[in-house]
Amino acid sequence: MDIQIKAEFTGTENDRKLLSKAEWRVFLMHCEGWTKKQIADFICRSPDTVRTQEQSIREKTGSTSVTQAILKAVAKGIVTITTLCLMLVCTAQYFINGDQAQEQRRAPRVSRNVRNRTFRDYLV
């Protein structure tokens, strides 16, 4: 199952000025889950160039890692990760209403210990 995650800039002009265009492109691709090598191949640059841009992103945002910079940007509303947010809402809603809905969809089965449940048991 391949989950598509879309990250988009939703900040102000002052936020946009924080990073250069190339850094924003690399940053948003990281928000979407791209690896350093995938980014380098896509933008036709060396992985060292991407690494340099990541270092600049970390310095400008005051973060120790790109992941921390992403979390800060999402928390401040500068970047919105749309599919991930929708997926979390759907998952939370399923776990709130899941047991009743699951009983209606599936045939009765032998009760299992919670410890023996697998990820497949939680799928809709």
Listed by start position, the domains of the chain span 7-83, 85-122
pLDDT above 90 covers what percent of the chain? 40
- 81, containing H or E segment: strand 79-81
Q: Tell me the C-alpha distance between 67 and 85, whole Å.
A: 17
Q: Tell me the C-alpha distance between 38 and 25, whole Å.
A: 13
User: What does CATH list as the number for 7-83?
Assistant: 1.10.10.10
For the stretch 49-105, pLDDT in tens is 999 999 999 999 999 999 899 989 988 889 988 864 455 555 555 555 555 545 555
